[in-house]
Amino acid sequence: MFETARARIALVCLLLLGQAALFPLYAVQPVNEDAWELADETEFLDDPDRYLDGPVESGGIVQDTDPVVIRVETIDGTDRVTITGATIEPEPGDKVRVYGTLVDRTTIDAHNAFVVPQQGRWYAWGISFLAGLWVLTRLLRHWTMEWSTLGFEPRTEPLTVRKGVAWVQRRWGSNDA
C-alpha cells in the first residue's frame, strides 16, 4: 500500500497531526449527565451555582478523615473538598474517588466513594512494562527493518540471543582486547 519511505513518513506525520488535533477536542467535551460525563472539580469549583444539587465526581488526596477532606488539583491551584455521607474509612495520604451531589461549593454528599489502592497503580505499570518488553522481543525476533522503505519484513528464521549478540559484535566490534 505505502511502499516508499516518503509515503510512510508522510502517513506517520498525518497520523500524528490527527492525534494532536483530537487531544484538545476531547478535553473540551461538555458535561453530559446522560452519557455519565459529569462535572468534576475543575467545573464545579469554578462555577458552583451551575452544578449545585446536581451530580458531580471528584478525586484527590485525603487530608483529614472526620469528615473526609480531600485536596483536589485544578487549573487555578489546589482546593479542599469535604465529602459527607461516605462509608469509606481512608487514611491521610490515600487517594479517593467520589461520585455524589454537590451540596455547596466545596462539599459533596457521596453516593459512591472508594479508596484507590496505591499498589494497584504499581501493579498496572509493572504489567504494562513487562507486556511492552514481550512485544518488543517478539518484534525483534520475528521481524527485520527494511531501511530503504522504512518497513518491516518477516525474518526467514527467528532471531536468537546468540545470533543477536554475534550481530552486535560484528556491527560495533568486540570489546575483547
**C-alpha span between 62 and 33 (Å, rounded):** 26
Indicate the domain borders of the chain.
1-30, 33-116, 120-172
> What are the tens digits of pLDDT across the range 33-83?
666 678 888 888 888 898 999 999 999 999 998 889 999 988 888 999 999
pTM, two decimals, is 0.59
Q: 75: helix, coil or strand?
A: coil
- For the stretch 123-151, what's the b/e string if a residue is b when 16 or more beta carbons lie within 10 angstroms of its beta carbon? eeeeeeeeeeeeeeeeeeeeeeeeeeeee
| The pairing of beta strand 143-146 with beta strand 107-116 | unpaired
Domain at 33-116, CATH homologous superfamily: Nucleic acid-binding proteins (2.40.50.140)
The helix (run of H) or strand (run of E) holding residue 60 is: strand 55-65
Contacts of residue 30, Cβ cutoff 8 Å, sequence gap at least 6:
37
pLDDT by residue (tens digit) across 79-122? 999 999 988 989 999 999 999 999 998 999 999 999 987 777 78
